[in-house]
Amino acid sequence: MLITGWLWCLAGGVIAGLLAGMLGIGGGLVIVPLLIYLLPLLGVPPELVVQMAVATSLATIVMTTLSSARSHYRHGQISWFWVRRLIPGLMLGAIFGAWLATQLKPEWLQRIFSAVLLILSIRMLVPQRTGEPITDVSKRLMAVISAFVGSLSALVGIGGGSLTVPLLQRLRVPIRQAIAVSSVGSLSIGISAVLAFIVLGQQMESNEGLFGYVHGPAWVAISITSVLCAPLGAALTQRIPVKRLQQGFATFLVLVSIELFIG
What tens digit of pLDDT does each residue of 159-213 get?
787 778 878 887 888 888 888 998 899 999 999 999 999 999 887 766 666 888 9
- The rounded distance, in Å, linking the Cα atoms of 182 and 20 is 9
Per-residue pLDDT, 95: 97
What is the model's pTM?
A: 0.78
Give pLDDT, residue 259: 74
Q: 107-125 and 161-170 helices cross at what angle (nearest 10)?
A: 30
148 — pLDDT class (breaks 50, 70, 90): very high
Length of the chain equals 263
- Of residues 169, 161, 65, the one with CA closest to residue 126: 169
Instruction: For residues 144 and 89, give the distance between their C-alpha atoms in angstroms, rounded to a whole number.
Output: 7
pLDDT at 59: 93
pLDDT above 80 (res 83): yes
Amino acid, single-letter form, for residue 9 = C
| Rg of the Cα atoms in the chain | 17
Q: Which domain holds residue 104?
A: 3-262
Q: Tell me: pLDDT of 130 over 60.
A: no
pLDDT at res. 87:
93
Domain count, the chain: 1
Confidence at residue 197, expressed as pLDDT on a 0 to 100 scale: 95
